[in-house]
Structure 1
Amino acid sequence: MREMTVVVFGGTGFIGSHLVAQLAAEGARVVVPTRRLDRARHLIFLPGVEVVETEIGKDPLAPLLEGADAAINLVGVLYSKPGTPYGPQFAHAHVEIPRRIVAACAAAGVPRYLHMSALGADRDGPSMYQRSKAEGEVQARTEESVAATIFRPSVVFGPGDHFLNMFAALQRWLPVVPLACAGAEFQPVYVGDVAQAYIHALRDPKTRHLVFGLGGPSMYTLAELVRLAGRWSHHERPIVELPNALGRLQALMFELMPGTPLMSRDNLDSMKCDNVLDPAIQALTAASLGIKLTALEAVAPNYLSPHERFDEFRARAGR
């Protein structure tokens, strides 16, 4: 990949940071557009990485893409104000931005576009999130000259993730965890495996126009994941499973609080569908790309445990 130039939109986020680091390690030249340079401080010293300050929802994108071999779009949000068929934040992040990037790829002559969607993406899905992700996949395929590869991951775990770290943090402060949709199923996939899926797709032209489902080696209910997050962070609390009505009331209260809610009613709507791979598409998975999937138990205890983090710090300090 030493002769390849890749533009990574959303490269300063959790998944993007891991992917940019792996691309840099592979010797690729990586351009990371960002609205705020301070969010990319952890990337600017990586070899071959160029951080460019721009507003990707407004500024022209074709100049960023001139001479690039591929564009990767990881931009996504988990919350939006209500709307039909989806709210404005979902429309902007999941539909408008992919449309702008793919159009810019066509204008700049970029032949490849790798797109982050989500398991459960469905234009008729129960949540705004799922419907907007499905429409984003439509936008990914709008330019004939740009070959799209689409990835649909389950929840992604790894150092710096929001999902497991959030539940670990809650259990440090709460005596019990009131939990809606406790039986919803997930197939967590390691962030390093997700990054490798993108790298494999960049290397292999046969992945053009394909859709890959990305799930880990095991499935868990939401309640099981919350228990594991508490256990590995050494603050395991009892879980109180909430009926649907109380769960939606809890989510509404979170939505009314300042900032991005911990949980929204739309998140609950998404969990009406299990977030696991459909057996009908098993041929198009991370494993089909030659990736040996990483187990949750092999990684998560190391970054959730306060003792493990302290030991790692001491080792790096030479103590």
Structure 2
Amino acid sequence: MTGSHTDDASRPLLEVEDLSVEFPLPRTSLRNRGPRALRAVSDVSFTMRQGETLSIVGESGSGKSTTGRAILRLPPPTSGSVRFDGIEMSSLAPRQVRDLRRRMQMIFQDPLASVNGRMSVGDIIEEPLIIHGLGRAAERRARIVELMELVGLKPGWQGRYPHEFSGGQLQRVGIARALAVGPDFIVADEPVSALDVSVQAQVINLLARLKQELKLTLLFIAHDLSVVRQLSDRVAVVYLGRIIEIAECDTLYASPRHPYTKALLSAVPLPDPKAEAARTPILLEGEMPSPLSPPSGCPFRTRCWKAQPLCAAERPPLAPVSPQTEVACHFPEPAADTVPAGQLQPQ
């Protein structure tokens, strides 16, 4: 039971262009009669090729989870385009969206909240097969056994209920459920943030193995850069609903170009105690601004140590600074192999 893969290897599997998501808000007073909206995602654009893993990283409230859900139309985008295997999803009828979701699945953040506690684990994994009309009862039972073995669970546990499992085991159930219909593309919405550190590593290793074995295209959402390096081909850093840097994984970790990315990486612990003790973490001042009243120009300027008047006057576009990196910053950090200039100059 596998999805149908794109025949045109040169065409991206997923194309997201100017994606924006707004949530309407009630009026706060009789004086405020106009419509109000919270803009959670603003003009996000990226592509993904078949078999790639792109990680979206940012602080809580940055819009990363909303971006992943909007791609699956949970909720539908307010504006912008999402094309999956060349199909424009905004033009599809509800039944067509449901059919396409067989190829586009999701792993949720909270493994316990994402399952029905009154259903056995076997029934949870079987449910998407029934919804999409895949296989007869005997074939579905065999598929359940196959999936449980694939994610490292004992098939004899399929009659147990969610409360009998640990968080890590339940997340494996969620992964098996997402894989049941043979998808091409999976959105993993912070799948390890609710787990212990040791269990996080096990789930990351499992996803890395499944990615290779099943040729999955994975959009991995996380708030911590330390958990995505092993899994990612590229990393997109988001701030206040916008992508501010996107780069190949090794390039981003070796040479972050946006000040915010540099600050995030400075908080990632180093395995060498001497190197960890010798470095000085970058401490950002203040909180992320509210999406209800974002700052003018660059959204990060209110916390940036490099901010200048230009940053308040103009919002920097996401533009290439190297073959591997795009960054939205008027004054990006120098590449790791260059000497910083004595005077900041606009890029």
Give the TM-score taking structure 1 as reference length.
0.31
Which structure has more RCO (C-alpha within 8 Å, separation ≥ 6)?
A: 2
Structure with greater strand percent: 2
Structure with greater helix percent: 1
Q: Which has the larger radius of gyration?
A: 2
Give the TM-score taking structure 2 as reference length.
0.29
